[in-house]
Structure 1
Amino acid sequence: MESLVVTGPSALEWRDVPSPRLHDDQDALVRPIVSATCDLDRRIVAGGSPFEPPFALGHEAVGEVLEVGDDAGSLAPGDLVVIPWHISCGGCVNCLRGLPGTCSSVPRLASYGTTAGGKWGGLFDEVVRVPWAAHNLVALPATVDPRVAASSADNLTDAFRAVAPVLRADPAASVLVVGGTASLGLLTVLCARTLRAAAVTYADTDAGRLAKAAELGATALALAEYPDRVDGDFDLVVDASANKAGFRCALLSTRPGGTCVIRSIYFGDVPLPYFSLYATGITLVTGPPHATPLVPDVLALIADGSLDPSPILAGPYDCADAVDVLLAPPPGKPQFIRPRIMSDRHADRGAVR
């Protein structure tokens, strides 16, 4: 089969590799039919990560089940499923706590598309093996277009998780999103608006993203550079900047007793303005996005029309064009499609053809 492989900084190629096989009765083989790029993928492709190439790229996708083991629950060939980014067993202490991104049955941060916890393939591959498939795969609702749902495997659910706990407890909470990445900040604005946040401010240095945030209903705050803090009284601040100055800005912009959620990934130590944080007593939330428990909630919002990430998506492009597109990516979240190969058991699922 073909696998999209990172071979070095700004170096990608399709390689012919052995097709995966079922290793266990709980496994499934799945064909990604819509693959989306996470903001992290841009850094990986550019060489801005600690992951040593070569390795397969991609960790957001909707796929078509091709083959299942004897103990894969109700999964069947032809089913359309979201493939969450992380590998998790569903039965360890951390999984039972709702923390599958820290599953203790696999190496820490085991995932598709990186080498952080081993090599599990990438979700641009023609086929991937999904262990503990009944737990790891989430059925796509019949009315949901796979192209709209692909990013629920990571970024879209990550954005939802960043704002949902605070906004469900206090819908009147004021929200600040410190942007800087291609799409995660905008997805966070979208989720906050979906959950009817009373006020959402989006701060960024990029004019295109600021305009998009305004279209999504946020107050757009143009920055020449990230300040120490943004003026205002923000109950919830989300760092989606992937910038150390943006990280500091998010922390110091959170009101006393408020919540600051760090959704950026930093591959090293980041200075912490501890005494300022001590003085305000904010709640700091970080850690990997635990997607699987919340993917059904996100899909339900997509299904009822409340949540539509389409304005932030780019494409779709043919998978064959992935190298060219990803080496010079457009704004937003590029998506790539390949045709289904199973008989269409679910003709009303908006399948990509």
Structure 2
Amino acid sequence: MQRLMLDGPGALRWEDCPEPVLDSPDQALVRPIALATCDIDPAVLQGRFPLPGPYAFGHEGVAEVVAVGDDVRTVRPGDTVVVPFQISCGACPACLRGRTGNCTAHPLMSTFGLGSMGGLNWGGLWADLALIPHADAMLVPVPAGVDPAAVASASDNIPDGFRAVAPQLAADPGVEVLILGGPAAASIGLYATGLAVALGASRTVYLDTDPERLAIAAKFGAEVIEGKPDTRVGRFPITVEAAGGAKALIAAVNATANDGWCTSVSVQAKDVALPMLAMYSRCCTFHTGRAHVRPAVPRILDLVATGRFDPSIVTTSVVPWSDSIDALLEGPTKLVAVRA
């Protein structure tokens, strides 16, 4: 079989390798059919995020189940499934609490397709076949009628946007939301925007400088404002920082209202001095870190299946599987490669 390998910035190649085989009764073999780029992928390919190769590439996608172990009960060959990018057993204390990104059955940050950061032995999803451990715990069937290409990022980036707005809107229904968009977490910020609208925010404001991203946010029904992340547009009960950098992070905190919640979904490579006294005075809750993806996937698929949320609005390029390398090197906001 073939798999896509990343050797370094701007360097991708197809590699022949042995097919994976089932060696545990709880495993499944899947054939990826719609693979998406994560927001970190363009940064790695352009040398802006240090993740050395070579490693098997790809960690967001939908697949067809090819074979299952004897103990697998929730999926069967022929099913179309979302493959969460984080490896989770479903049975450890962390998984039982919904903290599947910190599964204690495997080394911390075990993921598909992120090289040394996620453990090299899990392989990548941009391949003819992928081996899924803990198939019952990990794989989520895609509802009938939902286009696999539309939910290819349900593995990672859509849940990342979901966690930034959904719990807070559940606690305070109908409040206003501000998303500071930008290149660092481009699609996550846009998914958060669409989800805020879908989940009933009374006002969803998207602030960015990029015309393409502003147009996408407007398609979701958000109020779009062109401006830098530190442009003052008021204070909001829920703020999301997706722009990257210290200025945007501080701006998001400063835009958070009394008793508000600020989530940073970008990866801050350097330490940032937060305005702690102001945060204390306003009772600001700040959260950053990796999303725990698996518990959010069924809720996202339900929103898509019922027509409340259309993640395909964020997709800027859909290409055949055979064109993957050229398309990846072009670096679109959200690329989906589809296998016939």
Shorter-normalised TM range: over 0.9
Shift of residue 54 of structure 1?
A: 0.5
- What residue in structure 2 maps to residue 219 of structure 1? 223
SS at match of 1:107: coil
- What residue in structure 2 maps to residue 76 of structure 1? 76
- What residue in structure 1 maps to residue 165 of structure 2? 163
4+ residue segments displaced more than 3 Å:
none
- What residue in structure 1 maps to residue 155 of structure 2? 153
Q: Which amino acid aligns with 2:48?
A: G
Shift of residue 23 of structure 1?
A: 2.5
Q: Which amino acid aligns with 1:327?
A: L
Q: Deviations over 1:177-207 (max 9, x none)?
A: 0100332211111001111210011111212
In structure 1, what is the Cα distance between the partners aligned to 2:233 and 2:239? 12
- What residue in structure 2 maps to residue 95 of structure 1? 95
- What residue in structure 2 maps to residue 195 of structure 1? 199
- What residue in structure 2 maps to residue 300 of structure 1? 302
Q: Which amino acid aligns with 1:136?
A: M
Deviates further, 57-66 or 164-173? 164-173
- What residue in structure 1 maps to residue 16 of structure 2? 16
Is the contact between residue 181 and residue 208 of structure 2 (CA under 8 Å) also seen in structure 1?
Answer: yes
SS at match of 1:147: coil
In structure 1, what is the Cα distance between the partners aligned to 2:106 and 2:268? 22
In structure 1, what is the Cα distance between the partners aligned to 2:68 and 2:158? 27
Deviates further, 261-270 or 26-35? 261-270
Cα 1:211–1:145, aligned 2, differ >3 Å: closer, same or farther? closer
Cα 1:8–1:163, aligned 2, differ >3 Å: closer, same or farther? same
Q: Which amino acid aligns with 1:117?
A: G
Q: Deviations over 1:73-132 (max 9, x none)?
A: 232111111001100111111101101001111111111111223121112111111100
Deviates further, 213-222 or 20-29? 213-222
Q: Which amino acid aligns with 1:19?
A: E
SS at match of 2:151: helix
Is the contact between residue 41 and residue 57 of structure 1 (CA under 8 Å) also seen in structure 2?
Answer: no
In structure 2, what is the Cα distance between the partners aligned to 1:125 and 1:157? 23
Gaps in structure 1 of 5+ consecutive residues: 340-353
The reply on whether 1:117 has 2:118 as its aligned counterpart is yes
Selected match of 2:189 from 185, 192, 195: 185
In structure 1, what is the Cα distance between the partners aligned to 2:21 and 2:320? 25
- What residue in structure 2 maps to residue 327 of structure 1? 329
Q: Deviations over 1:39-80 (max 9, x none)?
A: 111112222333221011211111011111111223211111
Shift of residue 268 of structure 1?
A: 4.1
SS at match of 2:117: coil
The reply on whether 1:208 has 2:212 as its aligned counterpart is yes
SS at match of 2:196: helix
- What residue in structure 1 maps to residue 256 of structure 2? 254
Is the contact between residue 182 and residue 242 of structure 2 (CA under 8 Å) also seen in structure 1?
Answer: yes
Is the contact between residue 232 and residue 253 of structure 1 (CA under 8 Å) also seen in structure 2?
Answer: yes
SS at match of 2:149: helix
- What residue in structure 1 maps to residue 269 of structure 2? 267
- What residue in structure 2 maps to residue 345 of structure 1? none
In structure 1, what is the Cα distance between the partners aligned to 2:30 and 2:270? 34
Is the contact between residue 180 and residue 241 of structure 1 (CA under 8 Å) also seen in structure 2?
Answer: yes
Q: Deviations over 1:217-267 (max 9, x none)?
A: 2221211x332x623120000111123221121111111210001111223
SS at match of 1:295: helix
Shift of residue 303 of structure 1?
A: 0.7
Cα 1:145–1:211, aligned 2, differ >3 Å: closer, same or farther? closer
- What residue in structure 2 maps to residue 347 of structure 1? none
In structure 1, what is the Cα distance between the partners aligned to 2:30 and 2:133? 11
In structure 2, what is the Cα distance between the partners aligned to 1:117 and 1:207? 33
Is the contact between residue 106 and residue 117 of structure 1 (CA under 8 Å) also seen in structure 2?
Answer: no
Cα RMSD between the aligned structures?
A: 1.5
User: Aligned residues, how many?
Assistant: 336
Is the contact between residue 180 and residue 243 of structure 1 (CA under 8 Å) also seen in structure 2?
Answer: no
SS at match of 2:224: strand
Is the contact between residue 163 and residue 188 of structure 1 (CA under 8 Å) also seen in structure 2?
Answer: yes
Q: Which amino acid aligns with 2:248?
A: G
- What residue in structure 2 maps to residue 349 of structure 1? none
Deviates further, 132-141 or 65-74? 65-74
Is the contact between residue 256 and residue 281 of structure 1 (CA under 8 Å) also seen in structure 2?
Answer: yes
